[in-house]
């Protein structure tokens, strides 16, 4: 944000570290990331790392336009920023895998897919266009 961006995304995809995860979780993450790349108009490496920071202008846009509260809420927030001409930067972080996960592979994968479809539908309807 100090360099003029309106949103900063922590990204594991920009670092050089090799993270060991269960092959199924890694595959699920890669698949979801590919679907996100089809949804968002910018090619981010990693939108799901967790840490994000937003400028006051981005927060105002997000609060006035967001519609989701599920797993992909942050993808929607990024879409809102992009559609409103706000600058989004992806920055590398060092990430450490923790075995304990609250993600249910089947149920949560379907929820994530549903949310991405909602974002694409909302975007197509112009729901994230500047007011």
| Token reading at 26 | 């890694």
Question: Which residue, chain included where needed, has tokens 């075995």?
Answer: 99
Has 108 been annotated as catalytic?
no
Find the catalytic residue in 6, 74, 115, 123.
Answer: 74
**What are the angstrom distances between the C-alpha of 71 and each of 20, 52, 77, 85, 112?**
23, 15, 12, 24, 6
Long-range contacts of 126-129 (CB under 8 A, 24+ apart): 127/65, 127/67, 128/65, 128/76, 128/79, 128/80, 128/83, 128/84, 129/83, 129/84
d(CA 123, CA 83): 9
d(CA 98, CA 85): 36
Q: Looking at the annotation, which residues are catalytic? A: 74
């Amino acid at each position: 944000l100090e360099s003029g961006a309106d949103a900063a995304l922590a990204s594991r995809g920009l670092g050089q570290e090799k993270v060991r995860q269960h092959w199924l979780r890694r595959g699920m993450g890669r698949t979801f990331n590919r679907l996100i790349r089809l949804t968002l108009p910018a090619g981010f490496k990693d939108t799901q790392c967790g840490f994000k920071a937003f400028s006051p202008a981005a927060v105002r846009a997000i609060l006035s336009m967001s519609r989701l509260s599920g797993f992909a809420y942050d993808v929607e927030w990024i879409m809102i920023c992009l559609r409103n001409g706000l600058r989004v930067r992806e920055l590398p972080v060092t990430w450490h895998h923790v075995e304990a996960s609250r993600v249910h592979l089947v149920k949560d994968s379907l929820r994530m897919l549903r949310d991405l479809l909602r974002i694409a539908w909302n975007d197509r309807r112009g729901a994230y266009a500047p007011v």
